[in-house]
Chains A and B, each alone.
Chain A
Amino acid sequence: MVNNSLAGGLIYAYSFAVLIFIGFYCIFARRNMIRILIGLEIISKGIALLIISGGYPDNILVAQALVITIIVIEVCVMAAGLSLVIKAYKQSDSIDIRTFSKLKG
């Protein structure tokens, strides 16, 4: 198991799982729109940690290429999300997700 697991230690797997949990909790249990985006960012960090620790030491180059691409994608998604938050604030003067439950899904 030691040779086969992540980066030679289970601690990376545990940290990745805890990060994912914190991220999802933040998205679902918080009402500030900006904090929801913070939760999304934390999930991406967890996935990056999983990929790098899973690629060590054999596939570390490919793992780095994947993580760099994921970070670029996150920048674009965050930019789109934050600009929507600013537009929402301009239109209705609040960034509480509760004031945006006019449309019942």
Chain B
Amino acid sequence: MFLFVFIGLPLVLAGFMPVITRISKRILPDILGNLCFFLLLVASLSIFHLWPGAGRFYHTLVWFDSNLNIPLVLDGFSLLMIFISSFVALSVGLFSINYLDRYGSRTLFYSIMLVLVASINGIILAADLFTMYIFIEAAGISSYGLVALGKNRYSTEGAFKYLVLSAIGSSFILLGIALVFVNTGTTSIKEIASVTFSSTKLGVILFLVGFGLKCALVPFHFWMPDAYAFAPAVLPAMSSGIFVKVAGVYSLCRVFFNVFGLSFAVSSAMIYLGIISILAGAFLALGQTQLRRMLAFSSISQIGYVIVAFGIGTPLGIIGGLLHLFYHSIFKVLLFLNAGAVEYATGTDESKSLGGLGGKMPFTSGTNIIGILSAAGVPPLNGFWSKLIIVIALVQAKMFLYAFIAVFASVLTLWYLLLIQRRIFFGKLKETLAHVNEVPFWMTLSMVGLALFCVWTGVAFAPFISRWILPAAQVLIDGVRASLNAFIIGG
């Protein structure tokens, strides 16, 4: 019964939210929404404390003595992603207490966020490929809603392009699942893993293209800059922080590591696409002047790092990929929330019309510096360790050119991020911006909390690796065997 709270609680609350908030439209949605996210975070931490450290648990929910069974599966990788999703949701929830003053429709926003979090937890806990697909679609539809909350015509354009490209990606994923169903007669992960596939090349390409569209690998990245540029800043934070990772990278790893087994063709394809993403994201970000658009290209580049690390397939590569996945959620959400804070205070995030905000907004610029140094991989912040492990894994696999490219792109990241930071926060204050103040309390709290977490995970990274990352890596290294050996807990 306990695992189901991750999906059931946000969903029930989202359903009751329009009814409950007839009482109070201003405070109650905030309290209920953030309380729910906080409870999910506490639940994930308590599971972590009870965790035996290894193994894959099937948990079937029995409802009122009937035959209903809902198989939920939990292993190290799922636990890591659940923690990330709760943490990101809580940070964005706290941030939006003040941020939504500009957008109105507070109830609707919290309802959409709750459905998004419930669907993301559903993707993580699903034991069946088709269930994973349904929750990917539900989370996708919620993020179209978040984009559509924007006010100008550019956000509608971005929303439509996002919808069409994301739906194409879902069709590819569904095509792959349909082919697997035709081949084996079932969609349950455990049963598919026990069939050895010899002729799955068509299915593999379909899954790669589909998940690539979901996680914005080059050449499938076209929706990301347009969708993020004019949407309210909470959308890029939620989408790039958790949705792209779960619906793209997590599902990709589940399918290719635990169901099919990593073959040489898939591994090479992931490495090539990842390297192209790293370079293309870094170069395309160089010429951008709008903060959110540049951060979108930077996300494309960082997700490239993660895919390359998973594609290498060695244990060190998997550890590096998981670590970068985790840390990227933290610092990228921090950077997008900074962009949201700048937009809240000044009305725009176009760097050509901004300048010299550092004195007026000390918390924002301070946390922005920490975020940028993490993203670029400067020691002792968290980005440094994850990129270092990825580069070492590349060198260990004798791919010296790719290791050089990874380091080079890291330098480029530092360059373009510092450039835009200098333009926005330092320099002379323009006269039109003289009235700007620091952003309100909850937004500052959320940003400072994320920055402190960046510093903490950077300085004390070893316990994180040994307690959170290693069990997750063990699941992926075990590969197909991990989905076959599972313990069953009745519920």
Chain A interface (Cβ within 8 Å of chain B)?
Answer: 6, 20, 24, 27, 33, 36, 40, 43-44, 47, 50-51, 54-55, 58-59, 62-63, 66, 69-70, 73, 76-77, 80-81, 84-85, 87-88, 91-92, 100, 102-103, 105
Contacts and interface: CB of A to CB of B under 8 A. Distances in A.
Q: Is the interface of A mostly helix, strand, loop or mixed?
A: helix
A85 B160 contact: yes
A92 B153 contact: yes
A105 B186 contact: no
Given A84-B159, A85-B160, A54 B178 contact: yes
A12 B456 CA distance: 58
Contacts, number: 96
A25 to B, nearest CB: 13
Contact of B163 (A43, A69, A80, A103): A80
Q: Is the interface of B mostly helix, strand, loop or mixed?
A: helix
B134 interface: yes
Interface residues of B, number: 37
Interface in B198-235: 221-226, 229-230
Given A24-B168, A54-B182, 18 more contacts: A27-B168, A33-B160, A47-B174, A55-B181, A62-B185, A62-B187, A77-B141, A80-B145, A84-B144, A87-B148, A87-B156, A88-B153, A91-B153, A92-B153, A100-B161, A103-B154, A103-B161, A103-B226
Contact of A81 (B130, B158, B163): B163
Most chain A Cβ neighbours within 10 Å, of B144, B168, B181, B182: B182
Nearest to B284: A105
B474 interface: no
B167 interface: yes
A43 B171 contact: yes
A69 B141 contact: no
Contact of B182 (A50, A70, A73, A102): A50
Contacts of B145: 80
A76 to B, nearest CB: 6
A68 to B, nearest CB: 12
B137 interface: yes
A-B pairs with lowest CB-CB distance, top 7: A54-B182, A105-B222, A103-B226, A91-B153, A100-B157, A59-B185, A88-B156
Given A40-B164, A51-B181, A102 B156 contact: no
Most chain B Cβ neighbours within 10 Å, of A20, A50, A105: A105
A6 B182 contact: yes
A78 B241 CA distance: 26
A73 to B, nearest CB: 5
B43 interface: no
B13 interface: no
Most chain A Cβ neighbours within 10 Å, of B141, B224, B229: B141
Contacts of A87: 148, 156
A66 B181 contact: yes
B32 interface: no
B186 A62 contact: yes
Most chain A Cβ neighbours within 10 Å, of B137, B145, B160: B160
Contacts of A47: 171, 174-175, 178
B214 to A, nearest CB: 14
B141 A76 contact: yes
Given A20-B175, A77-B141, A84 B156 contact: yes
Contacts of B167: 40, 77, 81
Contacts of B163: 77, 80-81, 84
Contacts of A81: 160, 163-164, 167
Given A91-B156, A103-B158, A105-B222, A66 B182 contact: no
Given A66-B130, A66-B187, A51 B182 contact: yes
B174 to A, nearest CB: 5
A41 to B, nearest CB: 10
Given A54-B178, A87-B156, A88-B153, A73 B137 contact: yes
A27 B158 contact: no
Contacts of A24: 168
15 contacts: A6-B182, A40-B164, A47-B175, A54-B178, A69-B130, A77-B141, A84-B159, A88-B156, A92-B153, A103-B157, A103-B229, A103-B230, A105-B223, A105-B224, A105-B226
